[in-house]
Amino acid sequence: MDRSQLLRGTLDAAVLAVVAEQDGYGYDVLRRLRGAGLSDVGDASVYGTLRRLYGGGALTSYVMPSDEGPHRRYYGITDLGRAQLDEARTTWGDFAETLTGLLETVEVTA
């Protein structure tokens, strides 16, 4: 199964989940996604997704001075983002359950 195809449909939820846990800046979000096991997530995908979620109102953003180097743009989750995350949880839960059931059934019969 092509993981990149799966990621494409689920990255919004993953990013929302990471930011909901703790506010973060772009590279920080990327690192935490990778740390959580999505090692093959693309840099550009994460940055693009952050901007799109921010543009759609699911994320808020603010600038924080950093100790070393330039100021960093942090993203935090909004109420809208939280609602989207809840919806994604439900959708994914149902989907994963269904697919898991399907795959196990097929494996048994085969």
Partner 1 sequence: VSATTTDRPDVEAYLAAVRDELADLRPNERDDLLAEVEASLHDAAEESDAPIAARLGPPADFAAELRAAAGLAPDTAPPSSPRRDRLATAWRSPRTASLKRVLVELAPIWWVARAYVVVALVAWAFDVDWSITAPFVPTVGIGGPGSAGTGLLLLAIAVALSVAHGVRERRRGRPGTLSVAANVFLALAALPLGGDLVERASNRAPTSVYVESPPIPGLALDGVQVENIYPYSREGRLMLDVLLYDQNGVPLNVRPEDGDPSRRVLQAADGTDLFNAFPIRFFEAGTATVAKPGAAPAIRWSPVVTPPLKRSPKR
- Among positions 10, 13, 17, 51, the unique one binding partner 1 when judged by CB under 8 A: 51
Span of 19-27, 32-40, 84-92, 99-107 interacting with partner 1 by CB under 8 A:
19-27
Closer residue to partner 1 (CB): 27 or 95 = 27
Report the relative pairing of strands 72-77 and 24-25 from DSSP bridges.
antiparallel
- The 71-110 site mask, x for binding partner 1 (CB under 8 A), equals xxx-------------------------------------
- Among left, alpha and beta (phi > 0; psi -120 to 50; other), residue 57 is left
Span of 39-47, 78-86, 87-95, 96-104 interacting with partner 1 by CB under 8 A:
39-47
Cβ–Cβ under 8 Å, residues 15 and 29: yes
- Among positions 13, 17, 20, 26, the unique one binding partner 1 when judged by CB under 8 A: 26
Which residues, other chains included, contact 71 with Cβ-Cβ below 8 Å and sequence gap of 6+? 63, 64, 65
Q: How far is CA 59 from its chain centroid?
A: 12
